[in-house]
Amino acid sequence: MRVLAAMSGGVDSAVAAARALDAGHEVTGVHLALASGAPDRSGRSRGCCTPEDARDARRAADVLGIPFYVWDLAERFAEDVVQDFLDEYAAGRTPNPCLRCNEKIKFAAVLDKALALGFDAVCTGHYARVLDGPDGPELHRAVDVEKDQSYVLGVLDAGQVAAAMFPLGADRKADVRAEAARRGLAVADKPDSTDICFVSDGDTAGFLRERLGDAPGEVVDETGAVVGAHSGAYAFTVGQRRGLRIGRPAADGRPRYVLEISPVSNRVVVGPAEALDVTELVGVRPRWPGPVPAGAFRCAAQVRAHGDAVPATAYPEEGRLVVRLDAPVRGVAPGQAVVLYSSTRVLGSATISGAGAPAARASGATQAGRSAG
């Protein structure tokens, strides 16, 4: 097969490209020029897809002896990922830019271009697996649960899964680094990228403030009593405890958490931890990496990249997805993704628009009623 290896400049994508080559495929490396990161105090750029990363990717391609190109997708990235990130926060939601990048850039723009150029598959260093199933290729968790990235790949559709190659899905990170060293790849000891790639200094609140501006407002408790002030509701997320700047403690002395963010009133609502418990999720823009379910089905639902999956029943509806959890989860923010699993297999995903309790939802008195949108 002709394989396009997306090479970020890190150790995972370099070893993935090497393994695709070892498997007998005709491999071409490509680095995506998406965003530049300012150097941190060590003098290294932070995030991913920086000029330094491009140089590291080129060196790895040279060691492997494969053709290498840089594709400038900065304009598409700015529109589909960065602007989406800003719009979601401005609307009081908490987006995951890595999911959006996988959906819109790595497995849409890149895959579409790769197929148009005659490539058969796109290879990446994600820790996930594509396994053959009775209905075609299936997306599964990685063997190493600590490194598993299937959650951020839950936005892929069936066609994208069929054209994806994840050579590292059965490995542990330490083994991948050791292999990179044996292959003479200079990125063997390169630290993992942990920042949002377009927030170069790691200060997400500052990034949002610079682009969205100061927007002073009130912090209120569940009764509507003012207990503090903020300079921008976008700097908060549901479930947050620290940095609330509450000048008036709760009557019972217990800590308070962000329960709701209202962009209309520019208010941040805080309350006790138990008020964060939800047993029903409503999601929009469902995505299915395999056959679309015909009706309700049992599954496990995960709402964070490395969170626990909770037994649940999912109810697909036209244009949306309702998920009822067997046990409550805490601190679910609109804008997050819910990804559904059957054992290790990814069944589907949706962007959360509301969360609460089914009985209370009907009365409109829950967090879901306040935050859906």
pLDDT of residue 45: 45
Residue type at 260 in one-letter notation = E
The 10 Å Cβ neighbour count of residue 320 is 15
Distance CA 66, CA 88 (A): 39
- Which residue among 98, 101, 123, 299 is the active-site one? 101
Please, what are the averages of pLDDT over each run of 10 residues along the chain (373 residues)?
A: 96 97 98 65 51 93 97 91 91 88 88 94 97 95 94 94 96 96 96 76 84 89 89 88 77 86 88 92 95 94 93 95 95 93 97 75 38 36
pLDDT at 43: 44
User: Can you give the pLDDT at residue 206?
Assistant: 86
The reply to whether 123 belongs to the active site is no
CA–CA separation, 100 vs 219, rounded Å? 30
Burial 18-55 (b: 16+ CB within 10 A, else e): bbbbeeebebbbbbbbbbbbeeeeeeebbbbbbebbbe
Distance CA 232, CA 225 (A): 18
What's the start-to-end Cα distance of the chain, in Å?
44
168 within 8 A of 12, measured Cβ to Cβ: yes
Structure tokens at 58: 């080129």
CA distances from residue 301 to 48, 52, 337 in whole angstroms, order as listed: 29, 38, 10
What pLDDT was estimated at residue 368? Answer: 39
| Residue-range domains of the chain with CATH | 2-189 (3.40.50.620), 214-271 (2.30.30.280), 277-371 (2.40.30.10)
The pLDDT score that the predictor gives to residue 369 is 38
**Burial class of 204 by CB neighbour count within 10 A (0 to 12, 13 to 18, 19+):** middle
Q: Which of 49, 98, 123, 197 is catalytic?
A: 197
Rounded to 5°, the CA angle 10-194-137 comes to: 65
The count of other CB atoms within 10 Å of the CB of residue 136 is 13
Rg (CA), the chain: 22
pLDDT score recorded for residue 234: 86
Amino acid at 93: R
Please provide the size of the chain in residues: 373
Phi, psi of 332 (to 5 degrees): -85, 125
Is 98 one of the catalytic residues? Answer: no
Across the chain, the runs of DSSP E, i.e. the strands, are: 2-6, 26-33, 68-72, 121-123, 128-133, 136-141, 164-165, 217-220, 226-230, 257-262, 267-271, 277-287, 297-302, 310-317, 320-330, 337-342, 345-356
Q: What is the pLDDT of residue 37?
A: 47
The DSSP symbol for 106 reads: I
